[in-house]
Every structure is written in structure tokens, then in C-alpha cells.
Structure 1
Amino acid sequence: MTAMNTRRSLLQALGLACLAWLAPATASAQPADAGRAIRWIVPYQAGSSPDIHCRIVGEALSKVLEQPIVIDNKPGAAGNLGAQLARRAPADGSTWLYSGSPLAANMRIYKAPGYDAMKDFVHVSMIASSDAVLVVDARSDIRSVADLLQRLRAKPGAASYGSGGSGTPSHLAAEWLLQAAHVQAVHVPYKGAAATVMAVLAGEIQFSLPIVGVAAPQVQAGRLRALAVTGAQRNPRLPTVPTLVESGFPDITVVSFGGLSVPAGTPAPVVQRIEAAMRLVLALPAVREKIEATGSEVASGGSQAFTAALAAEVPATERMMRAAALEAQ
């Protein structure tokens, strides 16, 4: 047996042991209607990083909780549509929401998002965090951030870029960069990061800033060229790609995070059961490896840490909007 196979076997064994250990611990906390399907609303397109993360984690959680988990993609309005649906759902643990930094950011990006991120939900657990990557078509002659900015300065307002929607991290990061560099480009909102990648490849737009996990396969296949990542450090999946800080913009770092929330009023024992299951699932090596393979990092903060991070995201968005000269829509 090779060293790789030995390691894989050990990881699988550890994962099974963790699941076996958790089963009796959660049995006493199961509600009377245990076994019913859980609807996990993901307010983004299938194939997006949030969707992939939910499917990875949902598969493991379903075994732990002994309940089927159905991923329900409800993209639209930069995540607001799905959040509105979750807000109106029964507060009994049967409906979950994939939530994260955009949920809080939209409290400032939109004048009427249709929910209150801090009052309408109980935030159960973080799942993962990720930076974005500035990409162009690999067939272009743009090979660096400096090249892109030079092109934008040569023809102000002629180029366009795509984001997953107004107020998404990709939109805020792009506008922050444009404002800092004193250049212009037209914003074209799409329904998700994957759509912006396809738009760059099709020549509809000149650049975009999708989540690393969505863009990395196209970068590695030679179809997209990565110019910079938005995190404070280089991304392990794209180790040769510099950060925006390295590219001359020391103040620009944008990292998005996501997790699981439930409607406000969900009973505390139900919330605690889900949080405990999530904590153990995110400790499983197989789950961690799958999440990290998407270019994201596991962010295993519980309810208290997740709630604090979302609360901090609201004023952080205000500062970012001022820097990017954006107004609420």
C-alpha cells in the first residue's frame, strides 16, 4: 500500500469514528419529527462555491442528524431572494439558509433588502471563507494588474466587468480597485460567479473577480489568466498569483465567508443540535479536504463567532462603500 493510500485509509477511518461517536450524542437531542427532510436554501446558483460547500457539508450532516438534506438553490437579487424565503419559513429547524458576508453587506448595499440580517435569523455556524481572484481571458495580452489598469486608462468607461450581483464581494472589490486606481469600467451584474467566468470567456466582459474556487479550474486549464487574489495572503490553490496588496494596493483585501443560519425563533435545543453536528462534521478530514480543494478555507466558528462576524460586516461594508464611492440601491 502506498503512503497516499495509507493516509486516505486513516482519514476515512477517523471520519467513520467521528460519525459513530456523534450518533449517540445527538440521539437524545433529536426532535420528535426526526427523519423528516431539511430544506437548505442556497441563495446562489448550482455550481457556485456556496452550493458546492453546502453539498459537501450537507452530505455529512445528513448522516449525523439522520435526516435527508435537500439543497434548494434560489438565486436572485444578490442573495436577497433566498434570504427572504428563509425569513418567512417555519422556525422549527426544517429550513436552513446558507448565509454569510453578503447577507450582512446587503443591509447597507440595498435600501430595502427584505430582511434584517441580525434580527430575522439565528446564525448557527460558519462553514468556509474564500478570497476572489481578478481574471481576464487568457487569450488577451493583459498579463498583470498594471496592464489591466493601463488598458482602462487608455479608454475610460469602454471596458466592462462582471460580478455575481450588486453588493456581492466581487462587486465591492472591483469598485474599490477602480476607485483606488482612478479608472472606470462598466459594471455588469450576473446571477453568480460561474456566469461571470463564462462571460469573460465569451468576450462579453473584459474582467471579473469570482471566488477562487469557481475560477481556479479555468485558470489551471489555461482558459483564464489570474492577475491577483483579494486575500491578505496568496491562495494555496493559485500560489503563483500575487495579491492585490503585492500589486500595489495595500489597503484592498476582500475575503467572503459563509455559514448556516435558521429563522429567528427556532428553539435553542434545535439550534444547539445543528451547531454541534456542524462542529463535528467540519472536523472530519474528508470534509475539510473537499472544502479546501475548492480554494476555500474551513471556518469552523460556532454561533457566537458567526454572529459577531456578521455584525462586524455591516460597518465594514459601509467603509468599503465609502472607499468605492458606492451608494445604497
Structure 2
Amino acid sequence: MNSRPQLLYLAFGAKTYQLEAIFSIATAIARSSSADEREFDIQVFTDTPSLYAQLPVQLHSINSAWAGPHDYHFRLKHEALRQALGSCEQAILIDTDTFFRAAPMDLFKRVRQGHLLCNAIGKTLEHAPQTSFLRELYARNLADSSLRQTNSGVIGLVRQDIGALDRSIALMDELYEAAGGTYTLEELCLALAAHRQLELNECTDLIHHYWSRKAQFRAKITAWYNKHQQELLSKDALADALSINDRLPRPAQPYRGLQKLISLLVPSEQRQFVREALYGCYRYNNEFDQACSSAWWEKALSNAEERLKRPLDADELQAWLANIPLRMMAGEQYPALCEHLRQHLQAR
């Protein structure tokens, strides 16, 4: 039996998810003292082991049977954690779209018997929308209005409480069809398994889970990886990893106020597009914030199309980009903005 705490990642599919995991691991190492590094192990369940060759991790293949009878990929998380807890006393599975704000051993201190560590504790079901699936849970006596929802970007347990994973896996299999594609089924089943059995702990102060605005954070991480991929754990790479913050890169408020004022000179349907496009044109001091330019430009376009409820064609886009206020405020970034969005539109 391994007495060392185990930090687990499940990373498969597109390279984007693998880079997220690599960056999260780098922040775990960067936040660790030399003593901390000797106190926990890192395990990665992946279909692309070659990407982790530079990292001090134990690699494992992913058992396809873990997806269960419904081929539900979120079920893999609970199976991987259950396997790890079969041979260790304490383990935490962390989603790839995370990074550490503090030392990993601070996280492990919150994992103890009788507790479930999750990323965040949500509201009770009393405040949740009363969907047909929720009513089904009440009818089956599986849930009550006091159940608190969880964010499973982090799942931490000790071996003695492995039964919570058995319960959550069984619930996923039982409820999958009734859930009708409910995206949060896995998190809900984990909450059901823990309800009245385990006390919930959260860790948003220790872990940032960027489940929203992913495009901007992925742009930061890709820039970091492209810069340091030859030496992922060099002193410079780890220092840069810690310089990536949890804030969306936006200009300071006075400048945003000016942008908003200038945007009033364009037609109302284009104003939000102009403001978001200009977020990508601003010159940020942090190089990784600066790397988000193209993500902001693409988001400006997709948000505009969502508001219009239709796609923009090339001629419309050209007309929007030709607005004098946008050209004036974009400055030297204006040609890059236009070229990127034209290519983006052509590539769709």
C-alpha cells in the first residue's frame, strides 16, 4: 500500500486537453517546495504518453471499459480515482482545465476520512430549476431539496471512503438514460453519492478551474507551451507558469470606458463586437495576456453571430471591420485583427 498522496489527471483526446494537463502539472510543481515534491506522486491516465516524457509522472493507459454500458466519458474520472485508491491511502483527481494557486500539499490537507473534496460547493437543489429529471430523482427517493450540488473539477477522497465512488458509478449507469443528456450528470451523481454520507469540502482558493472563458485561458497556456516545450520544467518555464493569472485579459477600466463611449458611434448591433474586438487589440504587459488577442477576436465574432442568430458573411464582416471608430481604436493591431477574422471566416 502506497502511503504517499496521489495527484491524478485524466487526459485524452485532442492535444488541447493534454496541454491543459501539462500546464496544470507544471503549476503543481512550481508551487511545491523541494520538500513537498517528495511528499506526493503524480499519475496521468492518457492516450498520448509521449507528451509527458519531460514530466516526473507515472503514466497509465485508459481502460475503455471504464466508460461503462453507456460509453459515458465522464464516468472515466470516477473509475480512474477508484483504481488509484485501491493501492494508496489518499488521492485527488483534478480536471485538466485547472491550475494551482497554492502548494499541492495544502490541497491534500483537506482530504480526510468522512469528507469529499470537490472544487466548489453549489446551491441546494431547492434553488435548482425543477426539470423533469430532477422530479424523477425525487420520485425515486434519490434526492431531496437539501442536496448540495458540487463542481467535480477536483475530487479528493481517502481509501476508507472509496464506497462513494462505487455509489456514484452505479448511479451514473442507472440514471444515464433518464438524464436525457444532462451535462452535469456525473457531478450530480457524485453529490448524490456523498449526500448524508460525507461532508463536503471545497478548494477554489487553492485551485483555479477555468470551466468558462476557456478560449482565453487556452490561448495563454498554448503560448506558455510553445515558448517552453523543449524544457517544460526549467526555471524560466516554472516562473512563467506562475505569471499566468486567473483573470480575463481586459484593459483597465478607464480605457474600457473610453472604448464603450467610442462604440456608441457605430450601429447598436455592432457595439459589443467592437468592444470585444478591442480587448484583443490592447497591448498588455503580460505576454500571456497578450497571447489572447486572437481568442478575443474570434469570441467577438461568435458572440455577435449569437446575438444576430445567424452567421456573418464575408461582406458583412468587412463592413463591420471598416468602421472608423474600430480602425482608430485598434491602432497598429487593426491589420492583424482584419486578417485573422477573414481567415477564421474562410476556415469555417
TM-score range, shorter chain: under 0.3
Instruction: Give the structure-2-normalised TM-score.
Output: 0.24
The higher relative CO (CA closer than 8 Å, separation ≥ 6) is in 1
